[in-house]
Structure 1
Amino acid sequence: MKFPLSWLREHLATTATLDEITTTLSAIGIEVEGVEDRGAALAHFRIARVIEAAPHPNADRLRALRVDVGDRRELSVVCGAPNARTGMVGVAALPGAFIPGTGITLKAGEIRGVKSEAMMLSAREMGLGEDHDGIVDLPPDAPVGSSYVAWAGLDDPIIEVKVTPNRGDALSVRGVARDLAAAGLGTLHPRVPPAITPAYETPLRWTIEDPRACIWVLGRAVRGVKNGPSPQWLQDRLRAIGLRPISALVDITNFFTFDIGRPLHVFDVAKVKGGTLAMRMAREGEELAALNGKTYTLTPEDGVIADAAGAEALGGIVGGEPSGCDETTTECFIECALFDPVRVALSGRRHNVFTDARARFERGIDPSLLPSALDAATAMIMELCGGEPSTVSEAGTPPAWERNATLRLERLAGLGGLDLPLDEAVTRLTRLGFVLQSADDAAITVAVPPWRNDIAAAIHLDQDPGLDATRAATAAEGCAAVEAECDLVEEVLRLGGLDAVPAVSLPVASPVPAPSLDAKQGRAALARRLLAARGLQECVTYGFIEHRIVAMFGETPEALRLENPIASDLDQMRPTPLASLALAAARNAARGLPDVALCELGGGYRDTTPAGQMAMAVGLRAGRTPANWAAPARDLDALDAKGDVMALLEALGVPMAALQTTTDAPGHYHPGRSGVLRQGPKTVLAQFGQLHPRLCEALDLPRATVGFELFLDAIPEPKRRKKSAPELSALQPVRRDFAFLLDASVPAEKLLRAAQGAERALISEVTLFDRYAGPNLPEGKVSLAIEVTLQPRDKTLTDAEIEAVAQKVVAAVAKATGATLRG
């Protein structure tokens, strides 16, 4: 909200400087966003009279002027303005002055052989408008030599404050002045409403058809008015705060909106149909042609002011054009109503209309202000527009705004960190308008002033049928009592200056801060980093894709079909992010980029329950591996995908020795080139393999497309063990190779596991390094060669001890797999 300093001084008797006022406002919680001093840039300009205006001897479009700038000084000025003439009074800038409109600093010079010692200014050059057709033409009686800023009233700084949503009372000049007076920066001028004597019976009547639309409304007509332009002082005041003057009647209502925070509206009596204005809820589909030039389609949740023809205003927000006042208005009707803040806010948000009236009504209006505001507006209309007043039309009843609030002194220290004496707390509250009801060493009870709707807020209940008013009021009063005490703490603290509140650090719950990520989030972050390190580019895709594509990757339950998809090809929740990556790879392949490596951490969906959403880390590679000096390019295979997922499982802390590989991968994988990684027979950790050829053909993917799916929620929590120093043996390891002949149907993993368990105290590692099938072997047999690493702990192994371990390995493998040692 903006207001000139002079407007503030009309409510506040103070000798404080501008800096003291702005500093105090910020200290008491009304943040100053800026101060616009329009006169600062124009301080060096003075009023000057043109003594003589003659044609320039060397230029057809220029004129040579002799200008009186005061102090018996005459200067020569070369001017190109078409309206420059002898005897006119304008504004002159002397050498050294900065010209805001052009951004230059004026220097004396010579133009076409004629000396130019000053400059006659246009409105645009002074930064006061866009008029550049000629120099400023002032009235003949303007004092020559005087400061233009002082004469024009531009030495009035404009203060802009930021008002928090709870401080509706601060959305008025008087409200700001009241807070400054309470802070000790002056005295608030008393406001005495004028006495209005009615001259005739009101031609319009109020009726409240629905209390949800309005709970109390007053109105008065004024006949014989002349609605022309408002006086210059009122226009200047509105322009200073960013409003455009319209007409005297409208400008008066805008004035009171900012002056005392009381929005008003004026109807043209001749345009109101039926002689009655009703407060009611809008009818379905009812339209309002508003004063802002827009037409709104209303809903039954909008409160309106209506006549016999329909809605004439959206209550508390904007008036209607059909009944608005214009230059033909001879009798107006002033509306002064109290609307429900929540309903005003919801209607304004619903129709996306924001007005100064809405800003105040949705924060709460002083309910006791209606009669005096109506009288003040009536008096100003009669003063500026003439006319005589009618009697007052009233409907509804004033709300019971009277309420008390209690503050325990211990809460000042507990919440605000200040140990204030009782007298100081009472003094601060009374200066803000609170009335002391009772006080002792422990607590203060005060009556809340009507303009402070944010403290122990008055309860306004909707009058909907079936509402348990007693229970609602009891609950609301209990909440209001707790909130009111916190509000009073804030009031006492801010009046002493928010900068006086001591800074107190929050208590430290633990010397070691808790981790910012839980185990699940940590796994996801680690997986994301590892996949990126392995050259996969992360994708972020929708959790839903086309129903036809989903069918290639799993079931398509009707429960996972979107009722209102954002696009026709995004209508089904995906069972796995691998489907989205496959589509992304297909788009790349269609654009000449068949070799891609993609990954995503996202959700897969089985059903609509929380357990049916799976957190997954998924990767896909398509095409060929990149060629380098160490290896030529080759087609990708299932083992590339297995390498990715195994590295990921190892990084996530999964015991690799406990993993089992089975061949029951889902149908979107190649049945002979895929696998499932399990921890035990039931827990599926991941699945990998080459995508099914039919799927690749349907999506136009390269045949060599592989992928993996890791289920993050299935990863077991790592066991928390006390870390100790690693056991590093000083003895060299011993390695022995074994080649076994066994059935081709036996998994190599079974052989490795058997060898590892043959002598756990000595065998540290078992790896497979060769597989052979072909000539010189029996039909259906394969040869698997393994390397067994023995790590002695206490002493160097003898040949006999090594041979004994070797025999145990052969026996364990033979028992588990039926394999025999090749000769």
Structure 2
Amino acid sequence: MKFTLSWLKEHLDTDASLTEIVDAMTMAGLEVEEVIDPAAALSDFTVGHVLAAEKHPDADKLKLCRVATKDGEQQIVCGAPNAREGLYVAFAPLGTYIPGPDFSLDKKPRKIRGIESFGMMCSADELNLGEDSDGIIELPEAPVGTPISVVLGLNDPVIDFEVTPNRPDWLGVRGIARDLAATGIGTLKPETIEPVQGSFDNEQTILIEAADACPAFVGRVVRGVKNGSSPEWLQTKLKAIGLRPISALVDITNFMTIDRARPLHVYDLAKVQGSIIVRMGEDETFKALDDKTYSASADDVAIADETGILGLGGIVGGESSGVSEETTDILIECAVFDPLTIRRSAKRLGVNSDAKYRFERGIDTGFMRDGMEMATRLVLDLCGGEASTVDVAGDIPAAPEPVSFDPARVEQLLGFTPGEDEIERILKTLGFERQGKSTPWIMSVPTGRRDVTMQADLVEDVARIAGFDKLPATSLPALPGRREPTATLTQTRTRLARRALALQGLSETVSWSFVLGAHATAFGGGADALHLDNPISADLNVMRPSALIHLLLSGQTAADRGYPGAALFELGPVYRGTEPGDQSLTLAGLRRIEPARDWAGADEITALTAKADALAALDAMGANVDNLQMSQPTGDYWHPGRSGRLQMGPKNILADFGELHPRVLKALGIAGRVVAFEVWPENLPAPRKGKNSAGKSKGALALSGLMPVHRDFAFIVSDDVAAGDLVKAARGADKALISDVSLFDIYVGKGIDDGQKSLAIDVTLSPKEDTLTDAQIEAVSAKIVKAAEKIGAVLRG
């Protein structure tokens, strides 16, 4: 909703500044989105008077001008062909920003062909006031130094604010002025709408056959009108808020829509055949005034005559009965329509008109007669003619029911009260009237405020007008009893795991819990019991056995669209059956293996990359990742030689990771290779007492000022011995001194017997109190060798 400051002041008597008015609107609940002040953009430009214009001595197309300005007489070199003596111009002093070409004048005089120029005379294009760039603006005579925004009538700010659906009264300028008057920033100007006495009977028949969709239709005929251009004052108002003037009759309806939130429609009576009939549509098409063709169904309220449809009531009029310059006799429509019907029809047809915007929120039914009288007066004043009597078809809806209101309830709900006298003043200014003097008060509700149905609604009005900023800051009383955590242990853990995976460079996705049956089968699912009876799509007909399915499809889609190298993860449920225990929570992720296209090379993505991702998630959830056991996953969608499983004990599986089987990728239409992981957060045991929610106890920080010592060991082991088992055995040899163990080489070949391999590890020793002696280092080394021997490892010679 847009309106100008001067338009507002036609209804509100106030001396408040623009800033004060905007602040008052905001505090009263009218959310101001933007204030467009054209005068601010032109504040540096003032009226100058050309005293003399002579030819430049060194340039044929330049003129040397003496100009009277607000800074005194200035010398300006100008190339405009219309620069001449006596002209009033838009003067820009040195240092001024010129918005059109987007540059600023130098702060010092600039020499043009050897002669200094002390400013600039501007064209319309240079000020963003038009496209004329061939000459400077020729202003009407005005005192030198007057801001050009005043001379050109561009000193009227436009306020744009958002209207909430429950306040249709704010869709008219007078409704905004009424609320501002209640805040005390001004006074609502009184008005009396004088009825126009009809000089003849209205013989245009109006029939309502769809009373639920259109309860009332007020109509009036005006004969002998002359529909030309509307006056300048009306065109200026409409242009300022972005509306295009069309003709006097159309501009009057637009004015009423913005000024009073009262949409109207005008019919050319010469184009109407017989009675005006308000009925539901009959699958008939018509060309509308917006040059589009629409079809009215049985769910749409249609305005028709005896030959067919004339338009959609409350939404858009038809071209067949539209007014033109040849129009002489008109029918003014002032109707009310069912908001739900309007909303459904407009949404189905994709229409978004100013009338629809107001009717779908509900208009002031009490202003129907006065709205007709006001519109008639405007037509007679601007277009001439004579008016008929007013005809009302149907029944104008009754006023809302009065509301019982106890002023003491204000303090009970808000924590403060402005006092009964102020409460009554606020409500009266907003249009509510107190009936009698009893308590509780019986308040009549204005016809434009059907959102008010209970006393809490009145308390809300008092609160926003008296000032939400006056509400005291009061803490809620503590509830008795023990308070449980708002998040479960699993929720807390998975939140930390999701953050850890994001830090690993993976992007989180959210996808369906349904997949294509063939895809589910490829991942070991697709049982008949998991097929949906009523799927939302043919390719989403089975509950998913793995969250990797949608991740794979999303990664392939991204690659097909030119975005390779997808790294994705998702937290969500998977389904193995229909029993309660058959649903489990999984944290799944993947990385597509793409060829490196970096001049410096790139880290290779392998099954170990997926393992690192899974360990990062488990570590964030509090798992002791150093003590996890390794085994092979049982799912046949994993590559048998490039995958692994992380578990606690023989049965408690925490994660599977590795490269996905080519057969599965082919079944899903995935090109290339993919590494992935599946983590099962619910399998992680609860932390012991004294540990935090993630399962990690926070011990004392122990930092040593002594340098660590590194020792390398190479062991011969059987092919079936996992490298992780050797690392784990070495780490446990001396937990006090050994701070880290890492595998840095695997060798099979010359010097190593068949069925065996060489594993080389780097052991880090971190002394706590004194530098380690050779004897201490040898003692720890012996422990490491002994621990390795327990898993069948022999120190390599």
Shared fold per TM-score greater than 0.5? yes
The answer on 1:173 being equivalent to 2:143 is no
Could you tell me how far apart the structure 2 residues matched to 1:270 and 1:608 are? Answer: 71
Amino acid at match of 1:289: K
Q: 1:200 to 1:650 in 2, by over 3 A?
A: closer
Mean Cα deviation higher: 55-64 or 396-405: 55-64
Could you tell me how far apart the structure 2 residues matched to 1:153 and 1:596 are? Answer: 57
Could you tell me how far apart the structure 1 residues matched to 2:644 and 2:589 are? Answer: 15
Q: 1:508 to 1:223 in 2, by over 3 A?
A: same
State how 1:483-562 maps to structure 2 within 5 Å.
484-509=454-479, 515=485, 517-525=487-495, 528=498, 540=509, 542-543=511-512, 544-557=514-527, 560=531
Amino acid at match of 1:345: R
Judge conservation of contact 2:509–2:568 (CA < 8 Å) in 1.
no
Match in the other structure for 1:240:
240
Q: 1:86 to 1:497 in 2, by over 3 A?
A: same
Could you tell me how far apart the structure 2 residues matched to 1:297 and 1:376 are? Answer: 33
Match in the other structure for 1:415:
413
SS in 2 for 1:125: helix
Deviation, 1:508, is 4.6
Match in the other structure for 1:358:
356
SS in 1 for 2:320: coil
Match in the other structure for 1:279:
278
Structure 1 unaligned regions, length at least 5? 457-483, 624-632, 727-823
Mean Cα deviation higher: 401-410 or 698-707: 698-707
Match in the other structure for 1:806:
none
Match in the other structure for 2:289:
291
The answer on 1:230 being equivalent to 2:200 is no
Could you tell me how far apart the structure 2 residues matched to 1:635 and 1:296 are? Answer: 57
Judge conservation of contact 1:546–1:572 (CA < 8 Å) in 2.
yes
Deviation, 1:247, is 1.2
Q: Deviations over 1:557-596 (max 9, x none)?
A: 4663697777x87665432235567779999999xxx999
State how 1:756-767 maps to structure 2 within 5 Å.
none
Judge conservation of contact 2:691–2:698 (CA < 8 Å) in 1.
no
SS in 1 for 2:319: coil
Deviation, 1:201, is 4.2
Match in the other structure for 2:221:
221
SS in 2 for 1:391: coil
Could you tell me how far apart the structure 2 residues matched to 1:132 and 1:691 are? Answer: 67
Match in the other structure for 1:124:
125
Q: CA RMSD in A?
A: 5.3
Q: 1:689 to 1:229 in 2, by over 3 A?
A: closer
Amino acid at match of 1:392: V
Match in the other structure for 2:738:
none
Match in the other structure for 2:59:
59
Judge conservation of contact 2:94–2:118 (CA < 8 Å) in 1.
no
Q: Deviations over 1:615-662 (max 9, x none)?
A: 224578999xxxxxxxxx99999x999999899889868999xx9999
Could you tell me how far apart the structure 2 residues matched to 1:506 and 1:619 are? Answer: 43
Amino acid at match of 2:424: V
Judge conservation of contact 2:501–2:616 (CA < 8 Å) in 1.
no
Deviation, 1:601, is 3.7
Deviation, 1:378, is 1.2
SS in 1 for 2:10: helix
Q: 1:690 to 1:320 in 2, by over 3 A?
A: closer
Match in the other structure for 2:776:
none
Judge conservation of contact 2:525–2:544 (CA < 8 Å) in 1.
no
The answer on 1:13 being equivalent to 2:13 is yes
Match in the other structure for 2:450:
453
Judge conservation of contact 1:665–1:671 (CA < 8 Å) in 2.
no
Amino acid at match of 2:460: E
Match in the other structure for 1:81:
80
Judge conservation of contact 2:296–2:302 (CA < 8 Å) in 1.
no
Match in the other structure for 2:137:
136
TM-score (norm 2): 0.70
Correspondence for 2:441 among 444, 467, 487: 444
Deviation, 1:370, is 0.7
SS in 1 for 2:128: coil
Could you tell me how far apart the structure 2 residues matched to 1:504 and 1:645 are? Answer: 46
Could you tell me how far apart the structure 1 residues matched to 2:82 and 2:675 are? Answer: 83
Could you tell me how far apart the structure 2 residues matched to 1:518 and 1:271 are? Answer: 71
Deviation, 1:199, is 3.4
Match in the other structure for 1:747:
none
Q: 1:368 to 1:76 in 2, by over 3 A?
A: same
Deviation, 1:235, is 0.9
Amino acid at match of 2:461: E
Q: 1:217 to 1:654 in 2, by over 3 A?
A: same
Q: 1:113 to 1:662 in 2, by over 3 A?
A: closer
The answer on 1:305 being equivalent to 2:303 is yes
The answer on 1:424 being equivalent to 2:385 is no
SS in 2 for 1:329: coil
Q: Deviations over 1:165-220 (max 9, x none)?
A: 32221222211222233333333222222332323444643222212321111122
Q: 1:269 to 1:606 in 2, by over 3 A?
A: farther
Q: 1:406 to 1:717 in 2, by over 3 A?
A: farther
Deviation, 1:69, is 6.9
Could you tell me how far apart the structure 2 residues matched to 1:706 and 1:447 are? Answer: 70
Judge conservation of contact 2:406–2:441 (CA < 8 Å) in 1.
yes
Amino acid at match of 1:445: I
Deviation, 1:9, is 2.3
Deviation, 1:555, is 4.2
Judge conservation of contact 1:636–1:704 (CA < 8 Å) in 2.
no
Judge conservation of contact 1:622–1:636 (CA < 8 Å) in 2.
no
Q: Deviations over 1:1-51 (max 9, x none)?
A: 332232222222334444443333333333444443333454565556667
Deviation, 1:162, is 3.6
Could you tell me how far apart the structure 1 residues matched to 2:308 and 2:126 are? Answer: 50
Structure 2 unaligned regions, length at least 5? 594-602, 700-797
State how 1:245-284 maps to structure 2 within 5 Å.
245-272=245-272, 274-284=273-283
Deviation, 1:292, is 2.7
Judge conservation of contact 2:522–2:667 (CA < 8 Å) in 1.
no
Judge conservation of contact 1:227–1:326 (CA < 8 Å) in 2.
yes
Could you tell me how far apart the structure 1 residues matched to 2:380 and 2:314 are? Answer: 24
Could you tell me how far apart the structure 1 residues matched to 2:111 and 2:639 are? Answer: 91
Aligned-pair identity in percent equals 45
Q: Deviations over 1:481-517 (max 9, x none)?
A: xxx2121111222222332222333445589986453
Match in the other structure for 2:197:
197
Could you tell me how far apart the structure 1 residues matched to 2:534 and 2:134 are? Answer: 63
Deviation, 1:111, is 4.3
State how 1:21-32 maps to structure 2 within 5 Å.
21-32=21-32
Q: 1:722 to 1:384 in 2, by over 3 A?
A: closer
Amino acid at match of 2:444: A
Match in the other structure for 1:377:
375
Judge conservation of contact 2:48–2:144 (CA < 8 Å) in 1.
yes
Judge conservation of contact 1:76–1:116 (CA < 8 Å) in 2.
yes
SS in 2 for 1:342: helix
Tell me how many residue pairs correspond in the alignment: 683
Could you tell me how far apart the structure 1 residues matched to 2:239 and 2:32 are? Answer: 20
Mean Cα deviation higher: 173-182 or 77-86: 77-86
Correspondence for 1:341 among 339, 342, 360: 339
Could you tell me how far apart the structure 1 residues matched to 2:544 and 2:241 are? Answer: 56
Deviation, 1:448, is 1.1
Judge conservation of contact 1:29–1:498 (CA < 8 Å) in 2.
no
Q: 1:211 to 1:600 in 2, by over 3 A?
A: same
